[in-house]
């Protein structure tokens, strides 16, 4: 959206508002900021090297605007943010960091859905997904994206269930996460009205000549 916090904040908030006015739950990402990294988290674990003062004045500004706009969810990046960790503490990926997720929850007061980026990305290849998921729940994560491999999806589910049995996670933490997801669903996932019939077959609509013509018309109108 732009190169300044003000421009990104204004455009992002407008986009969020437009989406959610039409019943689409928006997601602000990648908390706490991924624009000023030199590596791609799809491949490796980047670091965001700035101190907390810089993060608050630049990277976090669009997220604050998103929260004021009522954004439904925030996605946390897989990257190291040493400037947000306690002094002397080892850096861990933001997606399982109590300090990074806690800042979003505690300092910014966000009580919507918080999710991770895809847990199968290269950024976490040196980490145990099971341990990252357990640490993520403890930090305040509600949802984990495990986008490709069924076995890894089950690994994360089993890890969280096992941590609950062992007492590493509490039922209160799980209930809080479930409650946030349920509130989001209640807000945005309204049932179809009576008589609405089956939903349209998207495969029969997307990519058709009529669809492409409509896209061209929309783009031309905006240029």
The Cα 185–Cα 198 span in angstroms is 20
Tokens matching residue 104: 């979003």
Answer whether 27's CB lies under 8 Å from 75's CB: yes
Half-sphere exposure of 182 (CA within 13 A, CB side): 6
Pairing of strands 143-145, 113-118: parallel
Catalytic residue selected from 50, 117, 118, 142: 117
Catalytic residue selected from 36, 40, 42, 211: 42
Give one DSSP letter per residue of 122-150, joined into a string.
GGGTTS-HHHHHHHHHHHT--EEE--S-H
- Cβ-in-10-Å burial (0-12, 13-18, 19+) of 53 comes to exposed
Answer whether 134's CB lies under 8 Å from 95's CB: no
- Does the active-site annotation cover 148? no
Give one DSSP letter per residue of 149-176, joined into a string.
-HHHHHHHHHHHHHHHHHTSS-HHHHHH
The Cα 18–Cα 219 span in angstroms is 17
Answer whether 97's CB lies under 8 Å from 85's CB: yes
The residues that are catalytic are: 42, 117
């Amino acid at each position: 959206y732009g190169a300044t916090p003000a421009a990104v904040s204004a455009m992002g908030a407008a986009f969020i508002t437009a989406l959610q006015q039409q019943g689409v739950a928006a997601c602000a990402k990648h908390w706490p900021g991924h624009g000023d990294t030199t590596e791609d988290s799809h491949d490796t674990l980047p670091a965001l090297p700035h101190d907390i003062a810089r993060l608050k004045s630049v990277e976090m500004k669009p997220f604050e605007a998103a929260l004021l706009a009522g954004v439904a969810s925030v996605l946390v990046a897989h990257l190291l943010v040493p400037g947000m960790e306690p002094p002397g503490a080892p850096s861990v990926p933001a997606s399982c960091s109590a300090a990074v997720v806690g800042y979003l929850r505690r300092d910014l007061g966000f009580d919507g859905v918080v999710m991770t980026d895809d847990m199968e990305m290269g950024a976490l290849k040196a980490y145990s997904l099971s341990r990252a998921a357990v640490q993520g729940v403890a930090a305040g994560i509600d949802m984990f994206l495990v986008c490709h491999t069924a076995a890894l999806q089950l690994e994360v589910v089993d890890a969280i269930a096992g941590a609950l049995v062992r007492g590493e996670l509490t039922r209160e933490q799980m209930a809080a996460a479930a409650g946030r997801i349920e509130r989001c669903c209640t807000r945005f996932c309204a049932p179809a009205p009576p008589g609405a019939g089956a939903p349209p077959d998207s495969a029969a609509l997307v990519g058709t000549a009529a669809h492409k013509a409509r896209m061209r018309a929309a783009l031309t109108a905006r240029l």
